[in-house]
Amino acid sequence: MRIAKGKADKMNERKYYIDNLRWFCILLLIPFHSAMAWNCWGEGNYIWLYENKILSSLIAIISPWYMPLLFVLAGMSARYSLKRRSYKQFALERVKKLLIPLITGVLTVVAYMAYMADKYNNNYGGNFLEHYQVFFTNISDLTGYDGYFTPGHLWFLLYLFIISMVSMLVIALQRKIFQKLSFSKFKTFLLPFLMAFPLIMTPILDFGGKSIGKDLALFLLGYYILSEESILEKLTKYRYAYLIIMLICDIAMVYLFVWKEKQTGILLSAYNIYVLWFGILGLLGLARCKFDQNNSFTRYMSSRSFMIYIFHFGWLVAIQYCLSKTTLAITFSFIISITATLVLTLLTCEFVKRVPALRCLFGEKRRGTGFPKQQ
């Protein structure tokens, strides 16, 4: 009984490293989206300035693993959440935390970003309010770079809401049919082979390179396997081996994609999936070992991370629009983009935190600096 109770207590402990890894990934969005203004592979952007291979390399280093890791973390958090909540409570919370902020964010932040993109790329002459007619009556490739309708960077909230609802049904069915299903004794040598699951699921509902099938697979891997303490202990043990594999493949991929300008190929795809999966395994192990901390800074960042995700891109687009009118060196423009975006985003977070109606609309429950619920 003591052993069982000990395992239960450990499972119910706050996993601070999950919160810390989440806000770290979200914070990476600021330099990532800033650098996209200088991408060298011809991808459109709200504001596109020049080509720069160094900043393009930064994008290529980060992009394979940081959003997949967020879906894995969401799956892990869902397991802890469903231990304390009914399915109805979980679904209602998803509506409040994901769906309502998605709608609010699209109507405000993303609509503004599309307006600025239309103004910059197409010389749109109307004002922001007039642009709503353009935004809501035109649909093209959903990037928003042409000023038309898009969920923008909030696609993550849309996907996560859909995946949460689908996963809840999968979990409910599993609990009814396979009541004793457990992966606690999953063999370490099999962990790398799990990368096949998201790879196989990638063609399912793939929109512009963002696959609901792949992200669902990552969410379920987080829920069923990577939330098991026995497996997390193995990830911690082999974290540096996983990270070395990730780093080698990441460097090779960046060299091929950015510097050799090879945008397709089996080798490039292989490097990408290796970086994705070994990056997830290695970073989870590293975070569990080094970042399982609870202090005033980590609490602050955890309580603001969701709003940072929503607001940062709107400020970034406005700042880079202004920078496009200057002749500043790329280095200074990039530094200003990051610094000004972070400062203005945090100020926006503080404002929203202090207005009850806005807190509700943007998925924040109450004012404070404590951790949000692990969900």
pLDDT in tens, 291-300: 999 999 999 9
- DSSP letters, 306-363, are HHHHHHHHHHHHHHHHHHTTS---HHHHHHHHHHHHHHHHHHHHHHHHT-HHHHHHTT
Name the residue among 229, 243, 242 with its Cα closest to residue 186: 229
Report pLDDT for 141. Answer: 76
Report pLDDT for 42. Answer: 86
Counting every residue written for the chain, the total comes to 375
Residue 141 three-state SS = coil
Residues of the chain with pLDDT under 70: 1-12, 366-375
The angle formed by the CA atoms of residues 208, 341 and 111, to the nearest 5 degrees, is 50
**Locus of tokens 């987080």:** 222
Report pLDDT for 372. Answer: 52
Name the residue among 225, 280, 293 with its Cα closest to residue 272: 280
Alpha carbons 70 and 31: distance in angstroms, whole number = 17
- DSSP letters, 279-304, are HHHHHHHHHHHH----SHHHHHHHHH
Confidence (pTM)? 0.92
Alpha carbons 294 and 297: distance in angstroms, whole number = 8
Helix, strand, coil: what percent of the chain each, to 5? Answer: 75, 0, 25
The one-character DSSP state at 107 is I
Report pLDDT for 367. Answer: 57
Within its chain, how far is the Cα of 264 from the centroid?
24
To the nearest 10 degrees (0 to 180), the angle between helices 111-122 and 296-323 is 30
Within its chain, how far is the Cα of 56 from the centroid?
19
Alpha carbons 307 and 300: distance in angstroms, whole number = 12
**What six digits make up the tokens of 207?**
């929109």
- The torsion angles phi and psi of 51, rounded to 5 degrees, stand at -90, 135
Alpha carbons 345 and 37: distance in angstroms, whole number = 19
Alpha carbons 240 and 251: distance in angstroms, whole number = 16
Report pLDDT for 3. Answer: 41
Report pLDDT for 1. Answer: 38
In terms of DSSP H, where are the helices of 138-211?
155-177, 196-201
